[in-house]
Amino acid sequence: MPDIIVQPPDTEDVKKIVEIANNHKIPVFTRAGGTSMAGGSVARKGILLDTRKMNRILEIDEENLTVTVQAGIPIQTLNEALVERGYWVPLDPESKATTTIGTNIALRSDSTFGIRYGKVEQWLCSCEIVTGKGDIIDVGHNKTLISSSGYHLHWLIISSEGTLGIITEATLRIIPRPPMRMWALMQVPSLEKGVQCVIEAHRRGIFPESVNILDKERLINYSHPGSTVDIRRGHFGIGYSFSGEEVIVSCSMQKMGEIIQDRGGRSLAEGRKDSILASNDWWDHKHVVVEPPELQYESRNGLEERGLKEFEQNWPILQRKKRFGAAGMSLPIGRIPEAYQYFHKTAKKYNLEIFGMNVYFQLPNATHVSISFAVKVGDSQEEVDNFYKYHREMSELAVRLEGSMSAYPGDGEVTSSLNKIEHKEAREYMCDIKRIFDPNNILNPGKKFGETGKEYGLEPSPWIPPEEVTA
Say if 454 falls within a structural domain: no
Say if 434 falls within a structural domain: no
The two beta strands, 266-267 and 180-188, are antiparallel
Residue 104's domain is classified under what CATH number? 3.30.465.10
Q: Residues 64, 107: one domain?
A: yes
Say if 244 falls within a structural domain: yes
Query: What gap in Å lies between CA 41 and CA 413, rounded to an integer?
Result: 9
Residue 305 has pLDDT above 80, yes or no: no
Query: What is the structure's pLDDT at 298?
Result: 37
Q: Residues 378, 403: one domain?
A: yes
Say if 242 falls within a structural domain: yes
Residue 317 pLDDT class (50, 70, 90 cuts): low
Query: What is the structure's pLDDT at 274?
Result: 62
Q: What angle do CA 440, 446, 450 make, to 5 degrees?
A: 120
Q: Residues 203, 123: one domain?
A: no
Q: Residues 140, 189: one domain?
A: no
Query: What is the structure's pLDDT at 302?
Result: 45
> pLDDT by residue (tens digit) across 389-443?
999 999 999 999 999 999 888 888 788 878 888 998 998 899 899 999 999 999 9
Q: Residues 289, 153: one domain?
A: no
Residue 291 has pLDDT above 60, yes or no: no
Q: Residues 274, 388: one domain?
A: no
Say if 326 falls within a structural domain: yes
Say if 215 falls within a structural domain: yes
The domain containing residue 293 runs over which residues?
Answer: 180-301
Q: Residues 341, 245: one domain?
A: no
Q: Residues 107, 184: one domain?
A: no
Q: Residues 247, 275: one domain?
A: yes
Q: Residues 164, 286: one domain?
A: no
Say if 70 falls within a structural domain: yes
Say if 239 falls within a structural domain: yes
Q: Residues 386, 239: one domain?
A: no
> pLDDT by residue (tens digit) across 90-129?
998 888 888 999 999 999 988 889 999 999 999 999 999 9
Using alpha carbons, select from 390, 448, 441 the residue that is nearest to residue 418. 448
The model's pTM is: 0.87
Q: Residues 115, 192: one domain?
A: no
Q: Which of 256, 273, 301 is the last residue of a domain?
A: 301
Q: What is the tally of structural domains in the chain?
A: 3
Residue 397's domain is classified under what CATH number? 3.30.70.260
